Amino acid sequence: MKRGELKQGWSEKSEEMMDGVAHWREEHPQATMREIENEIDKRLSALRAKMISDTANASERAKWEIAQGVQCPDCGAKLIKKGKKKRILLTRDGREIELEREYAVCPACGQGIFPPG
């Protein structure tokens, strides 16, 4: 994913978030400062999770090719490609993000490799 595509997706999510906050405020005219802060934090958390997920999935490390002779970090044997796998991770604030990577297994020691991001 190119920078322009990333920014466009984030801009759309930002607009959605701001519209949501404005709509929420209309429905909660008596909200306390704490309630406003909680609502905005919840919505910012969703934007943050999207940015983390998109950035990690756009990483060149997400696109590694087993055919390039990637070796097992434990024993050095050439890894065998096992297809793309999805992994769900949690952000610090408990939001789920999904990463998709090419998964590989070492035929010598059985180590499974899901590249970082």
List pLDDT tens digits, range 16-46: 999 999 999 999 999 999 999 999 999 999 9
Q: What is the mean pLDDT of the chain?
A: 86
> Per the structure block, which two tokens stand in for 40?
């905005």
Q: Which contacts (CB < 8 Å, 24+ apart) does range 75-80 have? A: 75/106, 75/108, 75/109, 75/111, 77/106, 77/107, 77/108, 77/109, 78/107, 79/104, 79/105, 79/106, 79/113, 80/104, 80/105, 80/106, 80/107
Which strands sit side by side in the sheet containing 80-90, from one edge to the other?
80-90, 96-105, 112-113
Count, residues in the chain? 117
**SS3 sequence of 8-44:** HHHHHHHHHHHHHHHHHHHHCCCCCHHHHHHHHHHHH
pLDDT at 103 over 90: no
